[in-house]
Structure 1
Amino acid sequence: MANNNTVKLIGFLGAETKVIESESKTFAILRLATADSYKDKETEEWKDKATIWHDVILFSPALIEEAKAYEKGARLEINGSLNYRDFKVLEDGKEFTKREASIIAYKVKQAPPKKEQANA
């Protein structure tokens, strides 16, 4: 069966890996920051757009151990699939259902530096 729900992200680790252990399972959460960039037509300089934060969840014990070694600021490449979770919130006395997206990773590796970093 083909896996049509595939995500590849390259971004920067925003915090140390958070490992959560319960009686039934152990998993880890990574916070990955991404930002697209564009070339300013007037100045010809590259500028970043707003930063977007992604929650990446690891279930594989091997991936969890590997992710513990990455330090905040590391540039990572994540391969995985999108996962959605509905949850209830109370706002102004009314209950709403919100949806949160996260990435379930099956591969995490150090990404090469950005071109600007490599040339610096």
Structure 2
Amino acid sequence: MKNLKRLKKNRDFQVVFKQGKSFANRQFVVYVLKQENQTCSRLGLSVSKKMGNAVMRNHIKRYIKEMFRGLAERLEPGTDFIVISRRPVRTMAYQEMEKSLIHVLKKTGMFHAHEGADR
């Protein structure tokens, strides 16, 4: 993740939850907060224990991290993203998850589609 780092500290999560805006569809909730003093974007993940055992949760987190790696150059720099996955994600294929995540990211206004290369 060159220009995308991980959001790990609880206080950082709380700042995004309190000051950021949320956008959602049936599969994901995404909180977004533009940070003026940052040059790179940060990603925080939340996958509930209701989603399954540790293997399933880590599997979902790996998928989401990989999606963000691929979309990093299309994200607004200096933005914090927190992605919360919902239950339907458990049974989705990678391509379906990516399409759903892109849908929510477009709602945020912090995602820039490439000219004529929309997935």
For the criterion TM > 0.5, the same-fold answer is no
Range of TM-score over shorter length: under 0.3
Higher strand share: 1
TM-score (norm 1): 0.26
Larger relative contact order (Cα-Cα within 8 Å, sequence gap ≥ 6): 2
Higher helix share: 2
